Amino acid sequence: MNIGLSASAVFSQTDRPAELFRPDVDHIEVGMFEDRDIADQFVRDSRIRGKTVGIHFPPVRGGSKYDLLGQVDVPIEKAWLQIENELAWCRSAGTSYLLVHFPFVMATGTLDLTRVTDDLGRLSRLQA
Residue closest to 51 by CA, chosen among 99, 100, 1, 4: 4
**CB 83, CB 90: distance < 8 Å:** no
CA distance 32 to 61: 5
Length of the chain: 128
Domain span holding position 44: 4-127
pLDDT winner (highest mean) among 22-31, 65-74, 90-99: 90-99
pTM of the complete model: 0.83
Q: What is the CATH number of the domain that holds 122?
A: 3.20.20.150
What's the chain's average pLDDT?
84
With vertex at residue 95, the alpha carbon angle to CA 36 and CA 3, rounded to the nearest 5 degrees, is: 120
Q: How confident is the model at residue 115 (pLDDT cuts 50, 70, 90)?
A: confident
* Per-residue pLDDT at 82 exceeds 80: yes
CA distance 14 to 16: 5
Number of domains in the chain: 1
- Greater confidence (101 vs 41) lies with 41
